[in-house]
Amino acid sequence: MRERPEPKRAATPLLTGQNALRNWSILAAASLTVMAGATIAPGLPDLQAHFANVPNADVLSRVLLTTHGLAIAIVAPLGGLLIDRVGRKPMLIAAALLYGLAGTAGLWLDNLVALLASRALLGAAVAVTMTVATTLVGDFFRGEERDRFVGLQSAAMAGGGIVFMLGGGVLAEISWRGPFLVYGLAFLVAPLAFIALPRSPSSALSSEYEAVPTPMEATRPHVIVFLYIVAFLNQIAFYMLPTQLPFVVASSFESGAATLTGALIATQTLFAALTALNFSRLRKRMSRLALFAVGFGGTGLAYILLSQIEGPLLFFVMAFAGMAGGVMMPNIQSWIVGAVTDEARGRVVGGLSSITFFGQFMSPIVLAPVVLIVGLRGSFVVSAIVLIVLAGVLLAVVGAQDRKRSKQPKAPPGE
The residues, any chain, with a CB within 8 Å of residue 69's CB and separated by 6 or more, are 37, 123, 235, 357, 358, 359, 360, 361, 362
pLDDT value of position 98: 94
pLDDT value of position 173: 80
- Spatial distance between the Cα atoms of 146 and 241, rounded to a whole number of angstroms: 29
pLDDT value of position 410: 59
Q: In this structure, which topology does domain 20-200+216-407 adopt according to CATH?
A: Growth Hormone; Chain: A; (1.20.1250)
0.75 exceeded by pTM: no
pLDDT value of position 48: 79
pLDDT value of position 180: 87
- Spatial distance between the Cα atoms of 100 and 36, rounded to a whole number of angstroms: 10
The residues, any chain, with a CB within 8 Å of residue 14's CB and separated by 6 or more, are 20, 23, 145, 148, 149, 152
Distance from the first to the final alpha carbon of the chain: 23
How far is CA 68 from each of CA 126, 182, 195, 292, rounded to the nearest angstrom?
8, 16, 28, 26
In contact, 364 and 62? CB cutoff 8 Å: yes
Supply the mean pLDDT for the chain: 80
pLDDT value of position 208: 39
- Spatial distance between the Cα atoms of 72 and 62, rounded to a whole number of angstroms: 17
Rounded (5°) CA angle 89-93-98: 145
pLDDT value of position 299: 93
pLDDT value of position 412: 53
pLDDT value of position 233: 93
pLDDT value of position 228: 93
The residues, any chain, with a CB within 8 Å of residue 185's CB and separated by 6 or more, are 32, 35, 100
pLDDT value of position 187: 92
The list of the chain residues with pLDDT below 70 reads: 1-13, 15, 17, 34-38, 66, 161, 165, 200-220, 253-256, 342, 408-415
- Spatial distance between the Cα atoms of 153 and 20, rounded to a whole number of angstroms: 13
